[in-house]
Structure 1
Amino acid sequence: MTSSQKDADITGNAPASRQPVILRAGTHDRLRRVMPESTRCAYTGDLRRFLTWCGDQQLLDVVPTLDDFDTLAAALHALLADGSDSHMVVTDYVRSLANAGRAPATIERALAAIAAAHRATAAAALPTDGPRAVLRAYRRDQATSGPGGRARKAAPVTVTALRAMVSVLDRSTPAGVRDIALLVLGFALAARRSELTALDITDLVFTPNGLHVTVGTAKTDRHSAGRTADLPWGIDPRTCPVHTAHAWLTTLADHRRTTGPLLVRIDRHGRLGLVPTGRGSADGRLTGQAVALIVARTAAAAGLDPHAAWSGHSLRRGFATEAYRTGADLLRIARAGGWKDGSTTLHGYIKDIDRRQINP
């Protein structure tokens, strides 16, 4: 007698067939939001380029046209399920990126995007020994080809550079007031681009001692524990985080914006937070790419070194550089900027300073 017959004998009824388990829409939404939107957007582009390359290699009959991470991940799953050797395909793709002269960091992100899509659709981890071996060889080739072949590091925005940058911005326009607040707060918080653009108006609270800022989540903050920062009054009003934040919040209030994103788009007519025609969210929030463009554009207008790599990361690196130069403890710098204890990235910034200041 089978177990089903036993169940039927005990209950007097035939057992009902088990219904398939289907995830609810809310569950799908939370799973989707585990990945930050900026990362999802970057990974989507990486996946699209990989699948386009697969199409050129005749590994795919049809390349998806929808610009959506989940759709592209499903196409990747179909490619791998079709019997293709995923390890060899990805290894050859890394070789093609290296031959095209892509930056090692760009190749690293492409690998991360492919691995993330693979995890989203398959049980087994994607083997990356071959791709990473090709990438290591490429890094070695770059290192031995002279300074021109090495990756350019973001130039640090020092206090002197920050003062020069804010001095060329027009404080009589909403865009000028916003850009000053962006530069000063980005520096004072040692913020990543994603942290800066994720700030909401309600994350800023004025206190008798200055400005209290809540940074809700960060790139390396997997559990979204967040961090807080207390920014004191500055000596120079032009680069005082309290003054510049107050000026920008007043501008926002004049445009009837007291909630929502702190940093918003401004069109050429001075209108705030309109729905974008291209990349960007409907609430008018500034993108990380826009932050990078503002930093680079303002550095150029201020006459800073045109050969240096000015980017959104320049503010974060500048904070670490200036704090260490003034004698701040390395652990306090890490805690203030949200670096992990023992961060190799932070130590890299410090080594660059030590080579100049503590040269044996």
Structure 2
Amino acid sequence: MSDDVEVVDAELVDDDHLPALRDTTSAVALPSADPDAWLPPEAAQDVAAGIADSTRTAYEGHFKLFATWCQTVGRRPLPANADTITHYISHLTRTPRQKTGRPYGPATLDSVIAAIRTIHRDRKLPVPETKAARQVVAGYRARLSQSEDPASRPNKATPAKRDVLRRAVRLLDRTTLVGKRDAALLLLGHACATRGGELVSRNIESLTPDPEGRGFSVKVYRKKLKKWQDVGVFYDEDEELCAVRATHALVQALADEGHTTGPLFLRMDRWGYLAPPMQRDGKPIGDPTGRMTAEAASDIVLRAMTRAGEPGRWRSHSLRRGFVNSAREAGADIVDIGRHGGWADGSKALIGYIEEADAFSASNPLAQINAAERRRRDG
């Protein structure tokens, strides 16, 4: 799911997208009161296409684990009873995961509940009541918060602000194709405030030079707003941090390799060869065009920050969060920041980023009180 966990309670996928669930679920067929309550395969596929792959994958995984647990305790996963879901969520708060040795955090439990509800809705089954299950999560979150357990806080990506980016890009070998790609990815992701998926889905054709020579615009599809946006990127006063120059360098280097259309950010092997074929169990995997994944973009950010000795949780989303912090520290208005980065006006997520950026800024109310006191004293 996204780096900043958001619970998506929406129509998800049809049965064909859930093959792993068929052997682990025992659904009770319910007669439909409406003979028109059905969709042809192509319409069901259109519904599925409206959900992010990461969300779909997460929900499928959550529900498969729920169905498996139901088998072990003799409960029915479909349609699930409200008490079954409450029992399961309570079980998860007390059960350490093998991978971490700790139970799931509250945000993940919210997502588990949303997954169970979504699968029911997708299969046109009565959506179970989950008030009691959510109360279990609320109590769990309160206990963790009172004990100052880090699990009570969202596991957010560390913001990559300009000073951090500067230290990271200085250590890249920007004479190589890999170095050019990584520099462009870091700087363009920050300049456009993109999510990882929005960034790696850019093509060379997504760039349009500014007629007045101020930079270029990037056509970005904002997933949450479900619309395209032309994001203006200016030449930076600091050439080291200039996304325009870095991207131009990458485009030219790709052209030298014969790649003039299609994905802007390509996977490369250790020797710098473009789009090497990948296989798993003897079968081709990965985008056939060589386009990088959002996870690969996060790996690039992590490697760059680790090389620079920067502590934190570094993901591709660090670039988006870092843009907000950098822009706010420069005095940019929250509305302008939001519209540049593709946030809806009044976005709670953006307001959360701004609150973090403003903690010790001049806009902090205490800082303003101190400034007023200095003016009075010096007045």
Instruction: Compute the TM-score of the two structures, normalised by the length of structure 2.
Output: 0.76
Choose from 349, 368, 371 the match for 1:345.
Answer: 349
Matched, 1:31 2:26: no
Per-residue Cα deviation, 1:127-172 (whole angstroms, up to 9, x for no partner) = 2212211111111112111254442432211100001111112223
Matched, 1:250 2:256: no
Choose from 162, 168, 173 the match for 1:170.
Answer: 173
Question: Is the 8 Å Cα contact of residues 274 and 282 (structure 1) preserved in structure 2?
Answer: no
Evaluate the alpha carbon distance shift between residue 103 and residue 298 of structure 1 in structure 2; reply closer, same or farther with a 3 A threshold: farther
Structure 2 unaligned residues grouped into runs of 5+: 1-34, 97-102, 367-379
Residue 219 of structure 2 aligns to which amino acid in structure 1?
A: T
Secondary structure of 2:205 counterpart: helix
Looking at structure 2, the residues matched to 213 and 38 of structure 1 have their Cα atoms a distance apart, in angstroms, of 24
Matched, 1:43 2:59: yes
Evaluate the alpha carbon distance shift between residue 163 and residue 143 of structure 1 in structure 2; reply closer, same or farther with a 3 A threshold: same
- Name the larger-Rg structure: 1
Evaluate the alpha carbon distance shift between residue 134 and residue 284 of structure 1 in structure 2; reply closer, same or farther with a 3 A threshold: farther
Question: Is the 8 Å Cα contact of residues 201 and 260 (structure 1) preserved in structure 2?
Answer: yes
Matched, 1:182 2:185: yes
Choose from 126, 133, 136 the match for 1:134.
Answer: 136
Secondary structure of 2:230 counterpart: strand
Looking at structure 1, the residues matched to 140 and 286 of structure 2 have their Cα atoms a distance apart, in angstroms, of 34
Between 246-255 and 232-241, report the one with greater CA deviation: 246-255
Partner of residue 92, structure 1: 87
Between 129-138 and 148-157, report the one with greater CA deviation: 148-157
Shift of 1:24: 4.9
Partner of residue 291, structure 1: 297
Per-residue Cα deviation, 1:175-210 (whole angstroms, up to 9, x for no partner) = 222111111111111111121122222212222221
Shift of 1:215: 0.9
Secondary structure of 2:289 counterpart: coil
Partner of residue 164, structure 2: 161
Choose from 326, 330, 342 the match for 2:330.
Answer: 326
Question: Is the 8 Å Cα contact of residues 105 and 151 (structure 2) preserved in structure 1?
Answer: no
Evaluate the alpha carbon distance shift between residue 164 and residue 37 of structure 1 in structure 2; reply closer, same or farther with a 3 A threshold: same
Partner of residue 217, structure 1: 222
Structure 1 unaligned residues grouped into runs of 5+: 1-18, 61-78
Between 43-52 and 330-339, report the one with greater CA deviation: 43-52
Evaluate the alpha carbon distance shift between residue 187 and residue 129 of structure 1 in structure 2; reply closer, same or farther with a 3 A threshold: same
Question: Is the 8 Å Cα contact of residues 90 and 131 (structure 1) preserved in structure 2?
Answer: yes
Per-residue Cα deviation, 1:2-48 (whole angstroms, up to 9, x for no partner) = xxxxxxxxxxxxxxxxx999855543432221112232233333333
Matched, 1:355 2:359: yes
Partner of residue 144, structure 1: 146
Shift of 1:337: 0.8
Partner of residue 317, structure 1: 321
| Identity %, equivalent residues | 35
Between 271-280 and 251-260, report the one with greater CA deviation: 271-280
Choose from 266, 277, 280 the match for 2:279.
Answer: 277
Structure 1 segments of 4+ aligned residues over 4 angstroms from their partners: 19-25
Question: Is the 8 Å Cα contact of residues 218 and 231 (structure 2) preserved in structure 1?
Answer: yes
Secondary structure of 1:243 counterpart: helix
Residue 138 of structure 1 aligns to which amino acid in structure 2?
A: Y
Evaluate the alpha carbon distance shift between residue 45 and residue 274 of structure 1 in structure 2; reply closer, same or farther with a 3 A threshold: farther
Evaluate the alpha carbon distance shift between residue 204 and residue 104 of structure 1 in structure 2; reply closer, same or farther with a 3 A threshold: farther
Shift of 1:321: 0.8
Evaluate the alpha carbon distance shift between residue 123 and residue 310 of structure 1 in structure 2; reply closer, same or farther with a 3 A threshold: same
Secondary structure of 1:264 counterpart: coil
Residue 202 of structure 2 aligns to which amino acid in structure 1?
A: L
Question: Is the 8 Å Cα contact of residues 275 and 281 (structure 1) preserved in structure 2?
Answer: no
Secondary structure of 1:310 counterpart: coil
Choose from 71, 77, 80 the match for 2:78.
Answer: 80
Looking at structure 1, the residues matched to 243 and 275 of structure 2 have their Cα atoms a distance apart, in angstroms, of 23
